[in-house]
Amino acid sequence: MPYELTGRLVVGIASSALFDLAESDRVFREDGEEAYRAYQERNLDVTFAPGTAFPFVKRLLSLNDLGESHDPLVEVIVLSRNDPDTGLRVMRSIRAHKLPITRAIFKQGRAPYEYIPALNMSLFLSANEGDVREAVAAGLPAGRVLGPVRPDDEDDPDLRIAFDFDGVLASDASEQVYQREGIEKFRDHEVAHADVPHDAGPLKEFLAGVNRIQRREEEERRKNPGYRLRVHVSIVTARNSPAEERAVRSLKRWGVRVNDAFFLGGIDKGTIMAVLRPHIFFDDQQVHLDSTARTTPSVHIPIGQINEVPPPGS
Active site residues: 164
Q: Minimal CA–CA distance to 295: which of 311, 274, 278?
A: 274
Where does residue 15 rank: exposed (0-12), middle (13-18), buried (19+ CB within 10 A)?
Answer: buried
What CA–CA distance (Å, rounded) separates 82 from 15?
9
Residue 191 host element (H or E): helix 183-192
The distance in angstroms from the start CA to the end CA of the chain is 55
Handedness of CA 110, 114, 120, 124 (dihedral sign): positive
Buried b (16+ CB within 10 A) or exposed e, 220-251: eeeeeeeeeebbbbbbbbbbeeebbebbbbbb
What CA–CA distance (Å, rounded) separates 243 from 248?
9
Helix, strand, coil in percent for the chain, rounding step 5: 40, 20, 40
What SS3 class is residue 259?
coil
Which strand ranges, in their side-by-side order, compose the sheet holding 9-13?
Answer: 103-106, 74-80, 9-13, 121-126, 142-146, 298-300, 280-283, 159-163, 231-237, 260-263
Output the CA torsion 215→216→217→220 (10° steps): 130
What CA–CA distance (Å, rounded) separates 120 from 98?
24
Q: Minimal CA–CA distance to 12: which of 78, 83, 110, 93?
A: 78
